[in-house]
Amino acid sequence: MKLALPPAFIYEWRRSRSTRSTIWLLALIVASAISTGVNELANGTEEGFLSGAVGHVSAAGPVAAILGAMAIGTEFRWNTIRQLFITFPRRYVILTAKIGVIAGLVAAASLLGSVVGTAFGVVSGDAVGSIPDWLGLSLRGMLVLIGWAVIAFGLAGLGKSTIVGVAVPIAVAFLVEVALLQVAPDGLLTAVLPFVNASEALSVQVPAGEAFEHLAVFWAWVLLSLGACMFVLGRRDA
Amino acid sequence: MRVDVIGLGKSYGKKRAVDDVSFSLHPGRLTGFLGPNGSGKSTTMRLMLGLDAGEGRTEWDGQQFKDLPTPPRAVGAHLDAKAFNPKRNVREHLWMQAAACGVGRARVDEVIETVGLGSVATQAPGGFSLGMAQRFGLATALLAEPEVLMLDEPANGLDPQSIQWLREFLRAYAHSGRTVFVSSHLLAEMQLMADHLIVIGKGTVLADDSVSNFLARQGTSDVLVRVPDPTALMTALTPAGLQASFEGSDGLVVMGASTEQVGLIAHQGGQPVRELVSRTPSLEKAFMDLTREAEEYAGKEMAS
């Protein structure tokens, strides 16, 4: 039986595939795993098997953000948003398809990154750790990367700009949250910061249950960004 | 497909861009959409397609646009000349669009040939001229052979041969039973192309009529005659109940007369006729007369 995908998903799949930067950015996610692995080979690691599952995520997060932001930002940049909404007048259908395709691509690249990273990790560190723990870390790594992409998509949609979608999450993750952590390291504020929680969700030392709670906090921000984008793009004049 | 535009309205702040605009588009007819700059043409088109939020509604064979089963098969629209990713080549762009309307590669190649872009099908359109970009946009709109074709200024940037091609293509498309709705500033072109006209000014519909009726209502035909002594001819025309005015040193413009009438009176007066021509009103003149008061951005007249 042939699987019939909705036209919006086929459209978005063809759009992504015909953009060379998509291929390069996905390759960069996998390259992040290779780079981290080579670094571990050079310097050694204590938890090669488990840390290899998520070693690529920190570096690949901004790359996933670029992918997510470009999925909607380029529609504004090239003035194709009107044609898009004429083709798909039920806007949430194409927006959902865009999220779905980007999520699928990032998930596949992340999984490949986990496998590659683990291979390097086992060689450079050890093979200690259970398969369920590895799967849990890989899943959380994948969801964090998808989260980066979706947050960037939402912000790019709200700001009608790829640059907004990429710059804002990077600035929050690497500047704003770092500063806040220094000012109030144990405050309530830091407990709800998105990227601090994403980082905790990927820690090998954090128990799986607690790690998924951190992931849930991160995803609350992801869904907030996506919901705001859907709401605004669904109503705003194109 | 019949299109009914009912009470469309849109404001930008205090400015009323479109105000209670209603008209209908019929299958088998090419309807021209005319109006001065800033009159609300593009806003009306966007409102019709649900791109902008506003008052009123547009029914496509009685349905809302978003409720149509496959919108690209019902409506093909080309609103922005250069709305494409400049790095995605022509065939890839159309192949992507083809997913939305369920057509295959054969149709993509066919439509590329139809608009004359076969030689650049694998090229990225970043370097396309405005005319080529218009053809590219038209190809996108035509891809699913839609029942309604909506084009905003499609002749902009086209050379005379391309304009002639576009005119013949759109007329043939309309007369094959489809609905074609075209906005344009090229009034002479519209006079040759359109069956029906909708004229908009300051956001309201000023005229909704066939081209022939519009011209007949807005303009009057006259006869220009050039003779050595126009004053004598003027005197001879008055008993026949004809009104005339001077034009140039030897010309008279006679209202409500035929060339035969004027020629006969000149002959009876013994005047050799240098020129005798019937002048029908042009769409440009009729449009200017109708929209003079509705012009949003009028330039100053040059002092002579």
Q: For the segment B218-232, what is each residue's pLDDT rounded down to a tens digit?
A: 667 788 999 999 999
Query: Tokens 């909704």 appear where?
Result: B208
Are the CB atoms for B247 and B224 separated by under 8 Å? Answer: yes
Q: pLDDT-based confidence at A182, cuts 50/70/90?
A: confident
CA dist B131 and B116 (Å) reads: 11
Tokens at residue A90, please? 């039920």
CA dist A217 and B140 (Å) reads: 43
Would you call B99 and A11 a contact, using CB atoms and an 8 Å cutoff?
yes
Kindly state the percentage of chain B with pLDDT values over 90.
65
Tokens at residue B242, please? 């004809």
What integer pLDDT is reported at residue A186 of this predicted model?
A: 76
Q: pLDDT-based confidence at B255, cuts 50/70/90?
A: confident
**Residues listed for chain A:** 238
Number of Cβ within 10 Å of residue A208's Cβ equals 15
Query: Tokens 């769409």 appear where?
Result: B283
The more confidently predicted of residues A75 and B295 is: A75
pTM of the model: 0.84
Q: pLDDT-based confidence at A4, cuts 50/70/90?
A: low
A191-229 confidence digits (pLDDT tens): 899 999 999 999 888 888 999 999 999 999 999 999 999
Statement: residue A136 has pLDDT above 80 = yes
Largest distance between two CA atoms of chain B: 75
Q: Does B100 touch chain A (CB under 8 A)?
A: yes
Kindly state the percentage of chain A with pLDDT values over 90.
68
Statement: residue A230 has pLDDT above 70 = yes
Would you call B71 and A82 a contact, using CB atoms and an 8 Å cutoff?
no
ipTM of the complex: 0.85
Statement: residue B144 has pLDDT above 70 = yes
Looking at CA atoms only, how far is residue B147 from chain A in angstroms?
14
A79: nearest CA partner in chain B? B83
What is chain B's mean pLDDT, rounded?
A: 90
B45: closest CA among B67, B72, B14, B18? B18
Looking at CA atoms only, how far is residue A42 from chain B in angstroms?
40
Would you call A79 and B83 a contact, using CB atoms and an 8 Å cutoff?
yes
CA dist B234 and B124 (Å) reads: 65
Virtual CA dihedral for B263, B267, B271, B272, nearest 10 degrees? 70
Q: pLDDT-based confidence at B140, cuts 50/70/90?
A: very high
What is chain A's mean pLDDT, rounded?
A: 90
Q: Does A6 touch chain B (CB under 8 A)?
A: no
A84-103 confidence digits (pLDDT tens): 999 999 999 999 999 999 99
> Mean pLDDT, to the nearest integer, of B92-99?
95
What integer pLDDT is reported at residue B304 of this predicted model?
A: 44
B53: nearest CA partner in chain A? A237
A90: nearest CA partner in chain B? B66
Would you call A78 and B86 a contact, using CB atoms and an 8 Å cutoff?
yes
Tokens at residue A238, please? 């194109």
What integer pLDDT is reported at residue A83 of this predicted model?
A: 93
Helix then strand count (H, E) for chain A reads 12, 0
* Residue ranges covered by each domain of chain A: 7-235
Would you call A78 and B99 a contact, using CB atoms and an 8 Å cutoff?
no
Contacts of B80 in chain A (CB under 8 A): 79, 82-83
